[in-house]
Amino acid sequence: MSVIAKKVRPEEWGITQHVRTLEASIIREILKITSQPNVISFAGGLPAPEMFPITLLKRIAPEVLEKYQDVAVQYSLSRGIVPLREILAEMAEKQGISAKVENIFITSGAQQAIELIARAFIEPGDYILTENPTYLGALQAFNFYRARYATVEMDDDGMIVDKVEAQIKKYNPKLIYAISNFQNPTGVTMTLERRQRLVEIAAEYNIPIVDDDPYGGIRFMGEPVPAMKSFGGDGVMSLGTFSKLIAPGFRIGWINAPDAAVAYFEKVKQSADLHTSTLTQYIIFEFLKQGLLDEHIENIKENYRAKRELMIKTMEETFPEGVTWTHPEGGLFLWVKLPEHLSAKELLPKAVAQKVAYVYGEPFYANGGGANTMRLNFSNCTHEGIVEGITRLSKILKEAI
């Protein structure tokens, strides 16, 4: 090692105090623990790897390079390639959502969509109105900009919208952030009546709604509920992603927003990563253009429906009295509530010792709470893993109760 290298002390570099105090994702930390062999993990929000359309992608990727040549690997528009935006606008129209190419903004996954919105809207101390609990990744993005939270409780019909107006009057939030379909972490879907009322309230106070919808396409039972943007128009910014529908490694998401907002997102993205990968945009575009998505999603739905039913059946057979859970009609998660005196966080080390893992619920609560809750992911396990993992977890719960 050179004399100069010995003098370098990265641990003393001037990283801001704000970044130094940021907390790492609890889920990522749990996944590190559970990466050891033989651990049955219900912790991650991972799609089923056996559902990735590898055979189709092996065919499409070379076709894209042959067809688009240098264009597919060149710098591109910050808003995203036009053909992909056009087809996404067409997909929105089929769902009853008015959309033009100018309204569609391509992002590097839906997580970046949340980050761009946070950067464009939030100043330190601003309030965001969220469901309680809500998506941990959104809280991390908002926390980076020192947001505060006005939270609204949920029940089996989603956000209790009757409580929203009081929170608006008290906190004057910059945004309303909601996950209306198969919410992360609860798996609950907001009813049409509540969606309509939320849109009405937000419009009255001129507060934009961010409707984060990564799971809406994965409805495997029940009837679809119209998207808030279909009747909320420019008052709603909807987020979508192909991470759960095709594969997360492509990092393709999008925002459907009013022209005025898209112009600001463009400026923000240019300072972040210039544009989303041109090559992956073209691969996703060809996947959609060739009409492959609908059949692929049907296969995903069948896979997840069977896993969800098996997990709930095993819980019904093994979990002790006093433990309850949601019954999602789609998505990747269900939400478990333990008796009030139990802490899911304190039980996690015991679970990991028995080679089973979950995410405890506290980090999903912006202002604290939820000690007796946990999130279980059913999409990423085998059928055998679901039965064995739930059986192990039930033994731990019985001992604790």
- Residues 56-68 have pLDDT tens digits of 999 999 999 999 9
- Tokens standing for residue 182: 């198969």
Give the pLDDT band of residue 75 (cuts 50, 70, 90).
very high
**For the segment 333-373, what is each residue's pLDDT rounded down to a tens digit?**
999 999 999 999 999 999 999 999 999 999 999 999 999 99
Residue 47 has pLDDT above 70, yes or no: yes
Domain with CATH 3.40.640.10 in the chain: 54-289
- Across the beta sheet with 104-107, the strand order is 104-107, 253-256, 236-241, 209-212, 175-178, 127-132, 148-155, 158-159
| Nearest-angstrom CA–CA distance, 187 and 184 | 6
- Tokens standing for residue 42: 């219900």
Q: According to the model, what pLDDT value does residue 311 have? A: 99
List, in sequence order, every residue forming a beta bridge with 107; answer none if it has no partner. Answer: 253
**For the segment 8-38, what is each residue's pLDDT rounded down to a tens digit?**
888 878 888 888 777 777 767 776 766 777 8
- The CATH number of domain 3-52+295-400 is 3.60.10.10: no
- Structural element, H or E, at residue 401: none
Half-sphere exposure of 310 (CA within 13 A, CB side): 20
Instruction: Give the chain's mean pLDDT.
Output: 95
List CB contacts of 47: < 8 A, sequence separation 6 or more.
243, 244, 247, 248, 300, 332, 379, 380
Check if the beta carbon of residue 5 is closer than 8 Å to that of residue 116: no
Output 295 or 7, whichever has higher pLDDT.
295
**For the segment 382-396, what is each residue's pLDDT rounded down to a tens digit?**
999 999 999 999 999
Q: What is residue 61's three-state secondary structure?
A: helix
**For the segment 273-289, what is each residue's pLDDT rounded down to a tens digit?**
999 999 999 999 999 99
**For the segment 94-120, what is each residue's pLDDT rounded down to a tens digit?**
999 989 999 999 999 999 999 999 999
Amino acid at 212: D
The region, left, alpha or beta by phi > 0 then psi within -120 to 50, assigned to residue 311 is alpha
Residue 145 has pLDDT above 80, yes or no: yes
> Is pTM, for the whole model, over 0.85?
yes
The region, left, alpha or beta by phi > 0 then psi within -120 to 50, assigned to residue 87 is alpha
Find the length of the chain: 401
Residue 195 has pLDDT above 70, yes or no: yes
Residue 1 has pLDDT above 60, yes or no: no
Domain with CATH 3.90.1150.10 in the chain: 3-52+295-400
Cα distance between the two ends of the chain: 57
54-289 belongs to which CATH class? alpha beta
Which whole-number Å values give the CA distances from 200 to 21, 131, 166, 205, 206, in the listed order? Answer: 38, 17, 14, 9, 10
Nearest to 185, CA basis, from 113, 129, 133: 133
Give the pLDDT band of residue 3 (cuts 50, 70, 90).
low
